[in-house]
Chain A
Amino acid sequence: MQTSASAGIGAHGAVYDDDIVKKFLIATVAWGVVGMLVGVIIALQLAWWPANLGLPWTTFGRLRPLHTNAVIFAFAGNICFTGIYYSMQRLLKTRMWSDALSKIHFWGWQLIIVSAAVTFPLGLTQSREYAELIWPIDIAITLIWVVFAINFFGTIAIRNVKHIYVAIWFYMSFVITIAVLHIVNNLAVPATFLRSYPVYSGMTDALVQWWYGHNAVGFFLTTPFLGLMYYFLPKAAERPIYSYRLSIIHFWGLIFLYIWAGPHHLLYSGLPDWAQTLGMVFSIMLLAPSWGGMLNGLLTLRGAWERVRTDPVLKFMVVAVSFYGMSTFEGPMMSIRGVNGLAHFTNWVIGHVHSGALGWNGMMTFGVLYWLVPRLWNKPLARPAMATQHFWLATIGIVLYTVAMWAAGLMEGLQWRAIGDGGQLANPIFIDIVHRLEPFYWLRLLGGFLYLVGAVMAAYNFWKTIRGPESLSTDVAAPVPAT
């Protein structure tokens, strides 16, 4: 059988489509840098308002959705597809069901991202968080998702192994749930080609949207990433998953409980009390299956900790899983009514978001990328030392970012609510509190900038690797040097 640069050969002789994996991988890196650059720009705008430039297209309100959509749907989304196309072919010992559908999925998804990057600066948005894209793009997303789902389930149908491995369970919940969330949340009546109004109003709209929003976290930033963890962490550590039974319990627990937790975004609002209570209770319960996943990941490394010291891939993954544990501890705490009363609306939430986003999603992504690039292109990593430097820059960046935001959030939360001796507000002038946040905003900017520099270093490293001399080895599965 012919081996080409873009095809790996499986145990049963199936030729895998690695070309599509490479495409998604390159898109991940490119959009990651763009999305984080926009993150740095909006961080600058909060520290120094003239960075809004006085132009309609560059104000904070228009660029922030560009940041969130680029990092979630382009950066995180593309790495999920990268990992899924790579691992599911190998786990199921078959090529993807249809190469044509793979290609349509890839180009369609990138086109959707480009349309987001064009429409947001023009002020074309639904202004419903994480579902900002206007209705024609929403329809395109639905169509492309159906293409992906057909290919995904088609590949499962033609598999050459009997049992479906745990990573694929998580991918499956991603494919199914995102479809349900996206369609139900975006039901709207168009007014023009560029504008529509949701069929839900007021608090109902709020509930549906946060049911979607929280589960975008659950099923876009969590379950597919757990799938990546279940495939790539054991591969990188060369150890089997710690506990099969734990993976069963925490999978079903996680997907069942997650869906209920949306109302923790609407505590102390006009949402009926029964719904607020359900959201709070299920969010607290969510701690258990979340930590089940974290423990299963970390304990897989038992006996391999020695290698964590030398292998950047494992370094990234260990920190990722640790931040997953941290943000899924913090989240349930923030869902307790009283705690949410303080944290809500503040930068604390931004700290929580980015400990999950930079720590869990970002670090996992880079771990997978550093593992995949040498294998896909069959060349050793061009600058191994640079990968370790990236790791440290990113880790310091996350710490600066989250610590600054926690401090800022706690401070503003307390100052907003402080009541003086006379029973009046202790800080009646809102903008005074805003000014006290300024040093924290600069610190966050520094942290985010370091993280971005790390991402650019990774891009450079990958570019050098891909452009580098051909490896002598022709064995696609050849282990690469650890550092």
Chain B
Amino acid sequence: MADETKHHGSEKKYGQFHRRVFEANAVNFAVWATIAILIGGIVEIVPMFTPAGPEISPDVTPYTALEVAGRDIYVSEGCYLCHSQWVRPMRAEILRYGPWSRAWEYQYDRPFQLGSRRIGPDLHRVGNKYPDAWHYEHMRDPRSTSPGSIMPSYAWLLTKRIDPADVEASMVALRKTGTPYSDEEIASVEQSLAAQGGEIVGRLQVAGIESEPDRAIVALIAYLQRLGVDGRAALQKRGVEY
């Protein structure tokens, strides 16, 4: 049987060159292939750390301890697989969701959660859209607030508790990556969680819902209510409508 993997046909000059320089010399081949695959990445990624990269803004502040805990839940549940956090600069999107998303609004997002699917609606402007109690009921059973929804129910978040030590570890790690948390903020995680959680529990109580400040659902609500809020306020301050 003939060897089908042999090259066939006439070889022009550069074919012979390629054969001699690359195919006969594996080190050469590997080095040049590595160079070929590095160039594009270097040209695109390195400038992101220079002024040609995404804009940053002092109008956005880091997430609070409770919001960090809520974001951890959002990340852990894979909400981004159904929800984008990315309003595009298009008329219909602005009408549906609100002002389009600016680069600086994401500056403290680690990991980024822009998402690539909209099985459910965009969430980048969902902060302050609904009362806390709506989110509570919606997460417990999405069908209760949104008849016919296909979103899974997350009822276990109502009873699951968050651990302040765990949240503190998150904030310490986030600070190492560059999020400007002060020593005070890190030292007072427990009080901060209790205070912000307490406010949400208070608002839930008004709506007739009993919960506690250290419940996972409370943290998730805190995070959802924060989404897009800083950006919206900053845009208003700058007199930008959308």
Q: Do A and B bind?
A: yes
Query: Are A271 and B103 in contact, with the CB atoms below 8 A?
Result: yes
A447-470 contacts to B (CB < 8 Å) = none
28 pairs from A and B in contact (CB 8 Å cutoff): A49-B151, A54-B152, A61-B81, A127-B113, A128-B111, A153-B30, A165-B7, A166-B7, A172-B30, A180-B34, A189-B176, A189-B177, A191-B170, A192-B166, A195-B170, A199-B177, A203-B103, A204-B45, A204-B49, A207-B45, A234-B4, A240-B6, A240-B8, A255-B33, A263-B44, A282-B40, A431-B146, A431-B149
User: Is B15 close to A, CB under 8 A?
Assistant: yes
Closest chain-B Cβ to A219's Cβ sits at a distance in Å of 8
Q: Given contacts A205-B111, A270-B101, is CB(A235)–CB(B5) below 8 Å? A: yes
Place the interface of chain B in its size category: 35 or more
| Residue of B whose beta carbon sits closest to that of A438 | B150
Query: Are A164 and B29 in contact, with the CB atoms below 8 A?
Result: yes
Q: Given contacts A172-B33, A199-B177, A209-B112, is CB(A272)–CB(B148) below 8 Å? A: no
Please name all residues of chain B whose beta carbon is closer than 8 Å to the beta carbon of A204 when the two chains form the complex: 45, 48-49, 53-54
Interface residues of B (CB under 8 A from A): 1-2, 4-9, 11-12, 14-15, 18-19, 22-24, 26, 29-30, 33-34, 36-41, 43-45, 47-49, 52-54, 72, 75-82, 84, 86, 88-93, 95-96, 101-121, 146-156, 166, 169-170, 172-174, 176-179
| Residue of B whose beta carbon sits closest to that of A345 | B118
Please name all residues of chain A whose beta carbon is closer than 8 Å to the beta carbon of B79 when the two chains form the complex: 61
Q: Cα distance A64–B179 when bound, in Å?
A: 30
Please name all residues of chain A whose beta carbon is closer than 8 Å to the beta carbon of B5 when the two chains form the complex: 91, 165, 167, 230-231, 234-235, 240-241
User: Is A140 close to B, CB under 8 A?
Assistant: no
Query: Are A272 and B52 in contact, with the CB atoms below 8 A?
Result: yes
| Residue of A whose beta carbon sits closest to that of B143 | A49
Please name all residues of chain B whose beta carbon is closer than 8 Å to the beta carbon of A56 when the two chains form the complex: 156
Binds B, one of A95-103, A118-126, A322-330: A118-126
Given A52-B152, A256-B40, 15 other A-B residues pairs in contact with their CB atoms under 8 A: A61-B77, A153-B26, A164-B22, A165-B23, A169-B33, A176-B34, A189-B174, A195-B170, A201-B177, A244-B11, A257-B40, A268-B89, A270-B104, A345-B115, A434-B148
Query: Are B108 and A245 in contact, with the CB atoms below 8 A?
Result: no
Binds B, one of A14-22, A78-86, A381-389, A413-421: A413-421
Query: Are A156 and B26 in contact, with the CB atoms below 8 A?
Result: yes
Q: Cα distance A59–B152 when bound, in Å?
A: 6
Query: Are B173 and A196 in contact, with the CB atoms below 8 A?
Result: yes
Provide the main secondary structure of the chain A interface: helix
Q: Cα distance A399–B179 when bound, in Å?
A: 48
Please name all residues of chain A whose beta carbon is closer than 8 Å to the beta carbon of B170 when the two chains form the complex: 191, 195, 197
Query: Are A248 and B81 in contact, with the CB atoms below 8 A?
Result: no
Closest chain-B Cβ to A270's Cβ sits at a distance in Å of 3
Please name all residues of chain A whose beta carbon is closer than 8 Å to the beta carbon of B106 when the two chains form the complex: 201-203, 206, 270
Q: Cα distance A129–B84 when bound, in Å?
A: 13
Please name all residues of chain B whose beta carbon is closer than 8 Å to the beta carbon of A65 when the two chains form the complex: 78, 81
User: Is A157 close to B, CB under 8 A?
Assistant: yes
User: Is A136 close to B, CB under 8 A?
Assistant: no
Please name all residues of chain A whose beta carbon is closer than 8 Å to the beta carbon of B113 when the two chains form the complex: 127
Please name all residues of chain B whose beta carbon is closer than 8 Å to the beta carbon of A344 when the two chains form the complex: 88, 116
Query: Are A248 and B18 in contact, with the CB atoms below 8 A?
Result: yes
Please name all residues of chain A whose beta carbon is closer than 8 Å to the beta carbon of B109 when the two chains form the complex: 201-202, 205
Closest chain-B Cβ to A75's Cβ sits at a distance in Å of 20
A270-294 contacts to B (CB < 8 Å) = 270-272, 274-275, 278-279, 282
Query: Are A64 and B40 in contact, with the CB atoms below 8 A?
Result: no
Query: Are B54 and A271 in contact, with the CB atoms below 8 A?
Result: yes
9 closest Cβ contacts across the A-B interface? Answer: A270-B103, A61-B78, A202-B106, A259-B40, A191-B173, A260-B40, A234-B4, A52-B152, A240-B8
Query: Are B116 and A198 in contact, with the CB atoms below 8 A?
Result: no
Complex interface bits, A336-372 against B, C-beta within 8 A gives 1, otherwise 0: 0000010011100110000000000000000000000
A12-62 contacts to B (CB < 8 Å) = 45-46, 49, 52, 54, 56, 59-62
Which listed residue (A59, A162, A270, A417) contacts B92, Cβ 8 A? A417
| Residue of B whose beta carbon sits closest to that of A62 | B78
User: Is A145 close to B, CB under 8 A?
Assistant: no
Closest chain-A Cβ to B45's Cβ sits at a distance in Å of 6
Query: Are B44 and A275 in contact, with the CB atoms below 8 A?
Result: yes
Q: Cα distance A270–B19 when bound, in Å?
A: 45
| Residue of B whose beta carbon sits closest to that of A175 | B30
Closest chain-A Cβ to B136's Cβ sits at a distance in Å of 17
Query: Are A244 and B110 in contact, with the CB atoms below 8 A?
Result: no
Query: Are B173 and A265 in contact, with the CB atoms below 8 A?
Result: no
Q: Cα distance A172–B101 when bound, in Å?
A: 40
Q: Given contacts A203-B112, A270-B102, A430-B121, is CB(A127)–CB(B9) below 8 Å? A: no
User: Is A424 close to B, CB under 8 A?
Assistant: yes
Query: Are B110 and A198 in contact, with the CB atoms below 8 A?
Result: yes
Please name all residues of chain B whose beta carbon is closer than 8 Å to the beta carbon of A439 when the two chains form the complex: none
Query: Are B24 and A162 in contact, with the CB atoms below 8 A?
Result: yes
Please name all residues of chain A whose beta carbon is closer than 8 Å to the beta carbon of B107 when the two chains form the complex: 201-202
Query: Are B12 and A245 in contact, with the CB atoms below 8 A?
Result: yes
Please name all residues of chain B whose beta carbon is closer than 8 Å to the beta carbon of A45 when the two chains form the complex: 152
Please name all residues of chain A whose beta carbon is closer than 8 Å to the beta carbon of B24 when the two chains form the complex: 162-164
A141-173 contacts to B (CB < 8 Å) = 153, 156-157, 162-167, 169, 172-173
Closest chain-A Cβ to B52's Cβ sits at a distance in Å of 6
